[in-house]
Amino acid sequence: MTDRKTELAENLANVEERIARACAAAGRRREEVTLIVVTKTYPASDVRILSGLGVRHVAENRDQDAAPKAAACADLPLKWHFVGQLQTNKVRSVVGYADVVQSIDRARLVTALSKEAVRAGREVGCLVQVALDADATGRGERGGVAPAGIEELADLVAGSPGLRLDGLMTVAPLTGEYAGREQAAFGRLMDLSTDLRRAHPAATMVSAGMSADLEQAVAAGATHVRVGTAVLGVRPRLG
């Protein structure tokens, strides 16, 4: 446990340093970027250590793993972000612990989240997940909606009781015109955020960047980076 704490502290310091450098290079203040540590596949004991090291935002992508972990960490001052593709039959559980759902990708999900948030007496923050590699079906390989679908979903979230429209999220595409061009992809997300904020000025969150590309996300203007591997280590299985 002590060794794990040392390891996580070192990794966290390294990531902090990367974020600080990226902010300095972009002429941004460090406080403009929030670190979300993606704890998927790692145990609640790691979440507890991270909390002790000052982490305040964690993310998970599977309800089966996240629900028991969040319950085991309910005493900690953490905000939980849900970043995975979300089936409507998991919505009730997710609303029980998630402060923000970053993977809003269809109207049916919004309706289900609203219903359960109202039932639970909670307000859930929502990010529309943007697929910059969306094909003709309007959907991306790694989830999300095509840019053309943002407005309709955003309006629906904004008009739904129990939900709060916080902004946009993306995962850098592996295919399509933005493959290998993370900075351009995140720049496009920023433009879409600017458009969104004309109608929804409070929707200021821009969640982009992971372990491999957080510098590009910070350079583009992201407000939140989601970092897993660089803090916790290479995951034992795909998650």
Indicate the residue among 38 and 154 with the shorter CB distance to ligand PLP: 38
Q: Please count the residues of this chain forming the interface with ligand PLP, following the rule CB under 6 A.
A: 13
51 touches ligand PLP (CB under 6 A): no
Secondary structure class of 121 (helix, strand, coil) = coil
Which residue from 11, 39, 61, 170 is in contact with ligand PLP, where contact means CB under 6 A? 61
Would you report the helix, strand and coil content of the chain in percent, each value rounded to 5? 45, 20, 35
147 touches ligand PLP (CB under 6 A): no
Check: CB of residue 190 under 8 Å from CB of residue 206: yes
d(CA 121, CA 111): 15
Beta strands 100-104 and 79-82 are parallel
CB of 214 to ligand PLP, least distance (A): 8
Which residue from 22, 35, 40, 147 is in contact with ligand PLP, where contact means CB under 6 A? 40
Which residue from 91, 131, 156, 171 is in contact with ligand PLP, where contact means CB under 6 A? 171
Secondary structure class of 189 (helix, strand, coil) = helix
Which x/- pattern, by CB under 6 A, does the window 80-119 give for ligand PLP? ---x------------------------------------
DSSP string, 97-160: T-SEEEEE--HHHHHHHHHHHHHHT--EEEEEEE-TT--TTSB-TTS-B-GGGHHHHHHHHHTS
Stretch that binds ligand PLP, among 17-25, 27-35, 71-79, 224-232 (CB under 6 A): 224-232
Indicate the residue among 119 and 235 with the shorter CB distance to ligand PLP: 235
Indicate the residue among 11 and 61 with the shorter CB distance to ligand PLP: 61
Check: CB of residue 207 under 8 Å from CB of residue 226: yes
The amino acid at residue 127 is L
CB atoms within 10 A of CB 52: 12
Which residue from 33, 38, 73, 189 is in contact with ligand PLP, where contact means CB under 6 A? 38
Residues that bind ligand PLP (CB under 6 A): 38, 40, 61, 83, 171, 210-212, 226-230
